[in-house]
Structure 1
Amino acid sequence: MRRHVMTPLLAAAMLWGCGSERAQTGAQTARDGVGKVDAALLTSGGDGHDWAMTGFNYQEQRFSPLTQINAGNVGRMGLAWFADMPDARGQEATPIVIDGKLFVTGPWSKLFAFDAVSGRKLWEYDPGVDKQKAVQACCDVVNRGVAAWKGQLFLGTLDGRLIALNAETGTPNWSVQTTDNSRPYTITGAPRVVKDMVIIGNGGAEFGVRGYVTAYDATSGAQKWRFYTVPNPTGAKDGAASDAAMAKVSPTWSKNGQWKQSGGGGTVWDSIVYDAELNQLYLGVGNGSPWNHGLRSEGQGDNLFLSSIVALKPETGEYIWHYQETPAETWDFTATQPITLATLPIGGQQRKVLMQAPKNGFFYVIDRTNGRLVNASQFVPGVNWASGYDLKTGRPNENPAARYYRTGKPFLTVPSALAAHNWQPMAFSPQTRLAYIPAQSVGAAYLNPSSPLDQRQPIGFNVGQDLGNAMYPRDAAAVKGATAGATGSLVAWDPVANKPRWKVDYPTPWNGGTMATAGNLVFQGTALGEFRAYAADSGKQLFSFPAGTGIMAGAATYMVGGKQYVAVLAGRGGALPLSIGYAIGKARDVPNRPRLLVFALDGKAALPPAPGATPAAPVPLPTETVAPQQVAQGKLLFGRYCQVCHGANAAGGGVLPNLQNSPVLADAETWKSILIDGALKDQGMVSFAKVMTPEQAQAVRHYIIDEARWARANLGNANAAGKPTAAATPAETASMKTGAR
């Protein structure tokens, strides 16, 4: 096993010293292994022996032609091998598998190579991301996978680098910084490779950045083009790729507004899809910065290309067409969710379409030849921001009350920023002609800013919302209602008939991505710790494996030596478990055991016995009393800066420490050393001295103590303490004792 650790300084030095000759020397060029991955393989996906890119092939249907494991025998499927992963944070990557080698990423942008049959680790690569970058990652320190091309693997890192590695050895060939590290940019999505170019986007709109996508030469790392998704706030020119398009979209933005300071958002943090039939590149563009359209653009204009799908010429990055799903986006309704390509019989003719089930709750079928809307219907119940779409104009029929910044009244929106469908992969089967959506119902209240805390700050979300008052009220019935109201489902959607064909309900949201096969199967993991297989045509459950931890990622399947395998990453994290607290229900109590699980027919491997699940004893709370005003101040500060990682009401979601049960609550000096002095910055818990005084940090501590007292009195000790502590690793246990994030 080889272990490589690259610091940002070393990465910069390597880029300075490398050239085409160096990169070609390091790349594997033989027509086997990753060396065989080219346009032909990524266009077709091959015969199913390989899973050569994150969505299987350029259509990104996540559908495999393999049939050895099928609806008739999947009940015989068992664990073939497993590998424990090092970081108990969100596991969101889909493995890629080429000629018997499996490559998968984990938190902190680490990359691992395994023998796909035995599970033997071949090498691992740690890019050495500074843990302080975590405070600029809106939704955990995750990574969704790598791209392969002609002997190289391409990895995007949380700190904005794009790194090319030799697939045989894990040795870096080149590295380029794709973002301005003085701004809160991140990369969590998988790169795509098209025409010998690596295409990568970024994230960071919650903190204040301007979105763009860049193409780099796969051999040398030289920049080929860059396309910006929103206008330049300064009015300056950016380059040929996007200047012409930006001139057209600039009138859809106000002359002033906070976008002038924030950059406007529009980050492309996940979906980038290449259409090999039409030679078009599709970008799924994200939310505005700040979310609040009333502040961002003074309530004026559609703000293109926010919440849009944009088609570009892949060779140059030039604009072709766009479709905006949510004009004047104001609810964090991104269009970054997975995009799938297909040809479907609609209206008596074969239509080349793209499909997407984004955050806002509508399933879109769009003609990819011209960007015109074919259909849009609600795929989850209760959507209340709009009643439907006008197919002539392509615009939603909005509920006026949803524009909270105009009415001055809070609006409980369904779905919310956490989405009817988030990043979890959606699959499509050309056999059943059904899309398989990992859907959920999670509402949220949107409120206009009400205090100076809600203005732009150097740390934390800058979304133009009243975050401090958006937590659960002190009402046990309301907390239980929120828990019961947040649910999930697997929806089999018929894009031709424009309606669901079948549905499986889950008691909690944030279940895993889907993968379909020609064996009439759909695979999905659940938040409560199962890996399941369903009949793709009927939804009948055919298989379940107790993974012992929640599963969010999408699976992949492959064949080696005449045997089919199914691989999936297990482990919890991401936006919802970090931020929502009580509302994820029983999922809070599911241990977080990061593992790679690989299955085959008649697999005989077994997971080690889980440690005893004895609930952690609640720590004694300090008896000191403070003025109600100090507690109230602490609540506002916690809501503004802390809840996105430690959960609403400091309840925790079972991933990071439950602060209601932190021993540090009793130690004011240690609390100050963490929040103000940055004692745990190397673990990702940075100092908040830029936005809090020592006295305010103590107000946060007093608020959490007060919240913990209420929870223990009204919700019971189990709700206050959580249950994963007994199963925690030594490092996790130490982290809980110190309150590390």
Structure 2
Amino acid sequence: MRYLMPTAALLLATSSVGVLANDSVTAAISDSKNWAIQTGDYANQRYSALDQINKDNVKNLQVAWTFSTGVLRGHEGSPLVIGNMMYVHAPFPNTVYALDLDQDGKIVWKYEPQQDPTVIGVMCCDTVNRGLSYADGMVFLSQADTTVVALDAKSGEVKWSVKNGDPAKGETATATTLPFKDKLLVSISGGEFGVQGHVTAYNIKDGSMAWRAYSVGPDDQLLFDPEKTTVLGKPVGKDSSIASWEGDQWKIGGGTTWGWYSYDPELNLIYYGSGNPSTWNPSQRPGDNKWSMTIFARDADTGVAKWVYQMTPHDEWDFDGVNEMILADQKIDGKDRKTLVHFDRNGLGYTLDRETGELLVAQKYDPAVNWTTGVDMDPNSPTYGRPSVVAQYSTQQNGEDVNTTGVCPAALGTKDQQPAAFSPKTGLFYVPTNHVCMDYEPFRVSYTAGQPYVGATLSMFPAPDSHGGMGNFIAWDATKGEIKWSLPEQFSVWSGALATAGDIVFYGTLEGYLKAVDSETGEELYKFKTPSGIIGNVMTYEHGGKQYIGILSGVGGWAGIGLAAGLTNPNEGLGAVGGYSALSDYTALGGQLTVFALPN
């Protein structure tokens, strides 16, 4: 039996709003047999209405089949399933496979991009790619070298391609794309190389540019209306970004957009976050550095920003704001709200009204977070919406660089890009987290196009006075800002979660385990160790009347960069190599899709 799609998932995917969304994507998402978009649906809920696999029988899961990608680097994202076809991607060189599920996964076509391998040298934190998207009979790939390719879903033929950036300046691509209406939203990476971040909407039909919106810069580049674009209910005002930077620093100011996107067809708004300001040395960029570290709500047709909210003004710790925005309708203080829930790198879980940008909840989702005492929630206060910084953990004092120790979380955040899930059945969010702290030493750095522009040395370690591990998997009540239950893990949980109508939540671990837990209690119901550490996102689909669970394993990403790239210096990998050195005792490199099902 299959449940009807409830609450926000239904509201954001039904045919009643299909005229506002892309009809092919809407139709594919509304059939829970498919896994038609990386985020599960436009709301980014990562929830499936399939319930054949449930909390009573999940203990019987078995490996149904496997597929090797042929690449030994970090595997993020997940396959797509549209009807009888599965589309699998790989890290650099970003090979794409089309598999026929009716023929035991026969390879129907294979796309092998021809990319200059020098792009690897300007990819910040491994050669990952977060997956494909699908619309109008085409599969879309954003390659490491920023080339966006539209492939015929049946033949693999290249329908069009466009270059979205310049690797010579440090611009690369790691994120998935988002098809909406007649457009495709594309991101840019490169905050560690001093690029000026942006999102770009291309016309799906031919790849021509529809609009581009920058994260930092003058209003015409930001696509801001100074009087109508708001922050916490007030107009942002003229040149709100460049007024918060010293001189022309904004031109190399970062704010890249390498995370996830969500879309509300009813409001016709796209939501996403921007990343760190460049450089990581805060004393070299006085001011709030707007609009890095910011949630954007943009009109899907024009790209003009309706509202913004900056989580970490004048970031001193690399707390990128790119993590997913999950859309869910919830009751808060007795009032029905169209909410946006965001688990930021800075360790705070935010709940906002997604229509107006009103801040409703901002609470720590790991008690170890110490750089702030919390966010000012008084609308009448001059610091409304700002986090209060604990001076001890500031990385600059009186404009001078300071070697700061014991900052929690570390630069990779209480959660990085690994997406959370939401279950409309429980009303809870399921969040993979990092339980990691750091020492942070900034230093002066000069900008040269195409060269690293970091300006800090980091070392990472487990949060002290805790369970000794580096991760937790938590259930979160976003209406109150409370942890309902928490499962400790030895390493960071770097896998995207999946919630299902079978009352289960799935996630993967850096050692390589696929785990299934009870969505109400967190009780572990099943685990299986795959061939390599998991940084991919769990997905599910139905084929031939049978439900399957799929996961890419292949250790890497920022947490696994030491293994993936063969690094040994503890300070390499932007501080992660030393913190995760023990990973090599539990897993090795890999690149495999593992698919599970119940026995016949």
138 and 77 in structure 1: CA distance in 2 versus 1, 3 angstrom threshold: same
Aligned to 2:108: 122
The structure 1 residue matched to 2:273, chosen from 274, 284, 287, is 284
Matches of 2:488 and 2:591 in 1, distance apart? 25
Query: Unmatched 5+ residue regions in structure 2?
Result: 1-20, 230-236, 379-383, 562-572
Aligned to 2:240: 249
Length-normalised TM-score, structure 2: 0.87
SS of 2:26 mapped into structure 1: helix
Summarize deviations over 1:117-145 as a string: whole Å, max 9, x none.
Answer: 62222222111221110111001111101
Matches of 2:463 and 2:198 in 1, distance apart? 41
Aligned partner letter, 1:398:
V
SS of 1:141 mapped into structure 2: coil
Q: 1:536 and 2:519 equivalent?
A: yes
Matches of 2:463 and 2:256 in 1, distance apart? 35
Is the contact made by 2:38 and 2:132 (CA closer than 8 Å) also made in structure 1?
A: yes
Matches of 1:352 and 1:199 in 2, distance apart? 23
Matches of 1:106 and 1:162 in 2, distance apart? 15
544 and 138 in structure 1: CA distance in 2 versus 1, 3 angstrom threshold: same
User: 1:510: Cα distance to partner?
Assistant: 4.4
After TM superposition, the structure 1 = structure 2 runs for residues 62-101 of structure 1, keeping only pairs within 5 Å, are: 62-101=46-85
Aligned to 2:568: none
After TM superposition, the structure 1 = structure 2 runs for residues 484-499 of structure 1, keeping only pairs within 5 Å, are: 487-499=470-482
Q: Which structure would you say has the larger RCO, counting Cα contacts within 8 Å and 6 or more residues apart?
A: 2
Q: 1:308 and 2:294 equivalent?
A: yes
Q: Which has the larger radius of gyration?
A: 1
Aligned partner letter, 1:166:
D
Deviates more, 1:70-79 or 1:402-411: 402-411
User: 1:80: Cα distance to partner?
Assistant: 0.7
Is the contact made by 1:524 and 1:533 (CA closer than 8 Å) also made in structure 2?
A: yes
Q: 1:424 and 2:418 equivalent?
A: yes
Matches of 1:485 and 1:242 in 2, distance apart? 46
Aligned to 1:442: 436
Summarize deviations over 1:278-327 as a string: whole Å, max 9, x none.
Answer: 1111121111011223202xx22x22111110111110111110111111
119 and 151 in structure 1: CA distance in 2 versus 1, 3 angstrom threshold: same
Is the contact made by 2:438 and 2:459 (CA closer than 8 Å) also made in structure 1?
A: no
251 and 176 in structure 1: CA distance in 2 versus 1, 3 angstrom threshold: closer
Q: 1:584 and 2:584 equivalent?
A: no
Aligned partner letter, 1:500:
I
Matches of 1:255 and 1:387 in 2, distance apart? 28
316 and 290 in structure 1: CA distance in 2 versus 1, 3 angstrom threshold: same
Matches of 1:194 and 1:479 in 2, distance apart? 40
The structure 2 residue matched to 1:110, chosen from 72, 95, 108, is 95
Aligned to 2:205: 219
Is the contact made by 1:43 and 1:276 (CA closer than 8 Å) also made in structure 2?
A: no
The structure 2 residue matched to 1:463, chosen from 450, 454, 466, is 454
SS of 1:176 mapped into structure 2: strand
After TM superposition, the structure 1 = structure 2 runs for residues 151-190 of structure 1, keeping only pairs within 5 Å, are: 151-190=137-176
Matches of 2:367 and 2:241 in 1, distance apart? 35
Is the contact made by 2:145 and 2:166 (CA closer than 8 Å) also made in structure 1?
A: no
The structure 2 residue matched to 1:415, chosen from 409, 412, 420, is 409
Summarize deviations over 1:707-737 as a string: whole Å, max 9, x none.
Answer: xxxxxxxxxxxxxxxxxxxxxxxxxxxxxxx
Matches of 2:471 and 2:245 in 1, distance apart? 38
Matches of 1:543 and 1:40 in 2, distance apart? 35
Aligned to 1:657: none
Q: CA RMSD in A?
A: 2.4
User: 1:484: Cα distance to partner?
Assistant: 8.7
Matches of 2:466 and 2:331 in 1, distance apart? 41
Aligned partner letter, 1:87:
V
Q: 1:350 and 2:336 equivalent?
A: yes
Aligned to 1:334: 320
Matches of 1:187 and 1:583 in 2, distance apart? 26
User: 1:397: Cα distance to partner?
Assistant: 1.6
Deviates more, 1:590-599 or 1:42-51: 42-51
Deviates more, 1:64-73 or 1:44-53: 44-53
Matches of 2:170 and 2:438 in 1, distance apart? 25
286 and 571 in structure 1: CA distance in 2 versus 1, 3 angstrom threshold: same
Aligned to 2:598: 601
Summarize deviations over 1:137-183 as a string: whole Å, max 9, x none.
Answer: 00111110111111011110110111111001111100001113431
SS of 2:76 mapped into structure 1: coil
After TM superposition, the structure 1 = structure 2 runs for residues 672-683 of structure 1, keeping only pairs within 5 Å, are: none
Is the contact made by 1:43 and 1:58 (CA closer than 8 Å) also made in structure 2?
A: no
Deviates more, 1:558-567 or 1:505-514: 505-514
User: 1:483: Cα distance to partner?
Assistant: 13
Aligned partner letter, 1:319:
A
SS of 2:392 mapped into structure 1: helix
User: 1:253: Cα distance to partner?
Assistant: 2.0
Query: Unmatched 5+ residue regions in structure 1?
Result: 1-36, 473-477, 604-741
Q: 1:272 and 2:288 equivalent?
A: no
What percentage of aligned pairs have identical amino acids?
34
Summarize deviations over 1:618-662 as a string: whole Å, max 9, x none.
Answer: xxxxxxxxxxxxxxxxxxxxxxxxxxxxxxxxxxxxxxxxxxxxx
Aligned to 2:507: 524
Deviates more, 1:526-535 or 1:405-414: 405-414
User: 1:112: Cα distance to partner?
Assistant: 1.6
Matches of 1:257 and 1:124 in 2, distance apart? 45
582 and 400 in structure 1: CA distance in 2 versus 1, 3 angstrom threshold: closer
486 and 419 in structure 1: CA distance in 2 versus 1, 3 angstrom threshold: farther
Matches of 2:295 and 2:351 in 1, distance apart? 12
Structure with greater proportional strand content: 2
Is the contact made by 1:259 and 1:290 (CA closer than 8 Å) also made in structure 2?
A: no
Aligned partner letter, 2:100:
D
Aligned to 1:548: 531
Is the contact made by 1:435 and 1:492 (CA closer than 8 Å) also made in structure 2?
A: yes
344 and 155 in structure 1: CA distance in 2 versus 1, 3 angstrom threshold: same
User: 1:255: Cα distance to partner?
Assistant: 3.6
Matches of 2:266 and 2:517 in 1, distance apart? 31
